[in-house]
Amino acid sequence: MTQDRHHSSHLFDDARILLNEVLDELDTSEDVRQRLLQPNLSLQVGVHVRMDDGSLKVFPGWRTQYDTSLGPAKGGIRFHPSVDQQEVGTLSFWMAVKCAVLGLPYGGGKGGVQVDPKALSSLELERLSRGYLRAIADVIGPDRDIPAPDMNTNATIMGWMSDEYDAIQRDQIPAALTGKPIALGGSLGRVAATGRGALQVLDLWAERNERKPEDTTIAVQGFGNAAYHFARLAHQRGYRIVAISDSKGAIHHPEGLDPDPIKEEKTRNQRLKGMVYCENSVCEHKGAKTIEQEELLALDVDVLALGALENQIHVDNVESVRAGLLLEIANGPVTREADEALAKRNVPVLPDVLANAGGVVVSYYEWIQNRSGEYWEEDSVNQRLAERMTREAQRVMERAETRNIPYRRAAYLLGLERISEAILARGQCHRCE
């Protein structure tokens, strides 16, 4: 646990340093700075779960709401052994910035439970999900804080939580959570939205740099929901996916890989056993060479798409990165020190607060559909997603190019500028002109 706490503290420190640097550049009120240095609310709970063997276990959980000047908090729930309060707080800050960058009427939210969900049976996982929802029910709702899926949570888990929230409220409130099954008011297009949005940002960058998909090689770290759909859609667009990894290993094929049969092999055992999580690996694919996960990060490719965990590119391995561009599909995969080292080498990074925002954009569309009672066709959802992602990505890229600054700095300037304006408009700042 000491290492996990250090990891979370490092994330939080990096976030605060960047926040202060950008606020200095914006020259905004000190009152705005003070409001943004801490979350509005950080709730810790104990989630009581009766295990299948009759024993009782209590898992620590958290829900954090960052600045909500733009609207109710919005953000996912992750189940992972390393989750702690600082990690959830940092993730909620990133969500606040991300929602602002995409022009969404939301503040930042995030939740998590410190658990290895793959060690639980399906029934234990359902009890955990419902228990966590009961523990945070008093601080969420469609006008206060709207949870969604994140690492190791999915539509099935959101369905359990939505049902539990309806039972607590004695009402049907589909807009209280997003990322739900379609049968419970989920939006078409939500499952692939994060990967699709990341590809749209990459497409825009490629277009602005006169690069064709068929001339662009990509290595994909991670093969969860977001990274898989990114790889699948990128392959369809003509990009050459030359390497893929998951938590158990990595594979490489210079001529290119088709993500769909790899996914099929990886999930076959999951379907047969009726499991919630996949136990197989991409390494079981026979048509490619198995390599070490660190080797994938050092491949000579045009794009390194990071879709796994935080802090994957750091001071100890950044010099081995040979990719021409990094695309952050995961949250915080590049540390601040590594980011600075890449900038000195003129290696651009398309940041998480822009590149992986497709999921929250379509969650916003789900929220709108739930509140109006009118549901959209998938083509309409995808079109709206493409229009918003392209519009806001263009703003970020134009600002970065005009001012000759990294894309991350440009994105934070745009997001924090919008949050600061909302704080000032609410009259919550005193020493302001």
**Structure tokens belonging to residue 369:** 């559909």
Secondary structure letter of residue 311 according to DSSP: S
Alpha carbon separation from 33 to 36, 189, 432 (Å, rounded)? 5, 37, 12
Q: What distance, in Å, lies between the first and last C-alpha atoms of the chain?
A: 47
**CB of 39 closer than 8 Å to CB of 65:** yes
Sign of CA dihedral 278, 280, 285, 291: positive
Give the full edge-to-edge strand order of the sheet including 249-252. Answer: 289-291, 249-252, 240-246, 217-221, 303-306, 325-328, 349-350
SS (H, E, C) 10-34: HHHHHHHHHHHHHHHHHCCCHHHHH
d(CA 149, CA 242): 29
- Chain-centroid distance of CA 292 in Å reads 25
Give strand pairing partners of 14: none
Residues 57, 74, 98, 110: which is the catalytic one?
110
What is the C-alpha to C-alpha distance for residues 411 and 352, in angstroms, rounded to an integer?
10
346: left (phi over 0), alpha (psi -120 to 50) or beta: left
* Per-residue tokens: 422: 């909302």
CB count in 10 Å sphere of residue 253: 16
User: Is 74 assigned a catalytic role?
Assistant: no
CB atoms near residue 77 (< 10 Å): 30
Q: Which residues lie closer than 8 Å to 335 by C-beta, 6 or more apart?
A: 10, 14, 311, 313, 314, 315
Q: What is the 3-state secondary structure (H, E, C) of 334-356?
A: ECHHHHHHHHHCCCCEECHHHHC
Catalytic site residues? 110
